[in-house]
């Protein structure tokens, strides 16, 4: 099969990209509106891109009708967010927070979750998440204005929270204890517990 992206339906391009670029880590992002309503949603277009300064990037896409999702609208009003670790223990809740709710409703209560205040930003952290990154928006870069177009959110990491229970003896995050989940194509997810080690040359 061969396709030219310029002449292919964007939904088909999305399906192929998300099926090929795998596994994708999940940014479970909490934001808050100007009115104080907490939004919580998962995004699999996500990664860390710098350690000095510490920077993460994720991309909330536009809806198919080209409207902005609540996360993006919130960041334009209150340019702060928290990336909460999406773990196997909370995979069902992570998925539940992807539901399209009315703007005044919070995914936190919809998914039966609790939050805890952050130290440096207004959006709260997910109370049960064993790790979280408090971030301030550095820049939002719109990548298009058509259906499912991306919006690159670049965030400076102001604080890192890690539960002692997921650390190893050297103080590093132990992936066998953190047990994050990741996205594949379609409705498939994966666990990050099937590990192997290779020493860097």
Token pair 């990209």: residue: 17
User: For residue 168, what pLDDT is reported?
Assistant: 97
Helix, strand, coil percentages, rounded to 5, for the chain: 20, 35, 45
Residue 25 lies in a domain: yes
Residue 201 lies in a domain: no
Q: What is the CATH number of the domain that holds 26?
A: 2.30.110.10
User: For residue 90, what pLDDT is reported?
Assistant: 97
Residue 199 lies in a domain: no
Start-to-end CA distance of the chain, whole Å, equals 37
Structure confidence by residue, pLDDT tens digits, 131-144? 999 999 999 999 99
| Residue 75 structural domain | 5-191
Read off φ and ψ for residue 14, nearest 5 degrees.
-60, -45
Element at 19 (helix H, strand E): helix 10-20
The span from the CA of 57 to the CA of 67, in Å, is 21
User: For residue 137, what pLDDT is reported?
Assistant: 98
Residue 60 lies in a domain: yes
Among 80, 25, 30, which residue's Cα sits nearest to residue 47?
25
Residue 196 lies in a domain: no
Residue 23 lies in a domain: yes
The span from the CA of 50 to the CA of 199, in Å, is 22
User: If you ran DSSP here, which 8-state letter would residue 185 be given?
Assistant: S
Residue 47 lies in a domain: yes
Residue 198 lies in a domain: no
User: For residue 103, what pLDDT is reported?
Assistant: 79
The span from the CA of 152 to the CA of 149, in Å, is 10
Structure confidence by residue, pLDDT tens digits, 67-102? 999 999 999 999 999 999 999 999 999 999 999 998
Domain count, the chain: 1
pLDDT in tens, the chain (201 residues): 999 999 999 999 999 999 999 999 999 999 999 999 999 999 999 999 999 999 999 999 999 999 999 999 999 999 999 999 999 999 999 999 999 998 789 999 999 999 999 999 999 999 999 999 999 999 999 999 999 999 999 999 999 999 999 999 999 999 999 999 999 999 999 999 999 999 999
The span from the CA of 189 to the CA of 133, in Å, is 22
Q: What is the DSSP string of 68-136?
A: PPHHHHHHHHS-EEEEEE-BGGGHHHHHHTTS---TTS-HHHHTT--EE--SSSSSPEETT-SEEEEEE
């Amino acid at each position: 099969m061969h396709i030219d992206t310029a002449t292919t339906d964007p939904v088909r391009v999305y399906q192929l990209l998300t099926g090929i670029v795998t596994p994708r880590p999940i940014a479970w992002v909490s934001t808050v509106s100007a009115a104080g309503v907490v939004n919580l949603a998962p995004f699999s277009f996500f990664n860390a891109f710098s350690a000095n300064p510490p920077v993460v990037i994720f991309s909330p896409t536009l809806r198919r009708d080209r409207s902005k999702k609540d996360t993006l609208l919130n960041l334009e009003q209150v340019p702060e967010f928290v990336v909460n670790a999406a773990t196997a223990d909370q995979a069902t809740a992570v998925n539940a927070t992807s539901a399209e709710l009315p703007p005044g409703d919070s995914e936190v209560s919809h998914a039966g979750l609790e939050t805890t205040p952050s130290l440096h930003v207004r959006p709260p952290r997910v109370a049960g998440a064993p790790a979280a990154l408090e971030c301030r928006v550095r820049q939002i870069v719109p990548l298009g204005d058509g259906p499912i177009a991306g919006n690159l959110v670049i965030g400076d990491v102001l604080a890192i929270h890690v539960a002692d229970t997921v650390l190893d003896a050297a103080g590093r995050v132990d992936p066998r204890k953190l047990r994050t989940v990741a996205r594949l194509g379609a409705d498939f997810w994966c666990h990050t517990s099937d590990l192997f080690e290779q020493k860097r040359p």
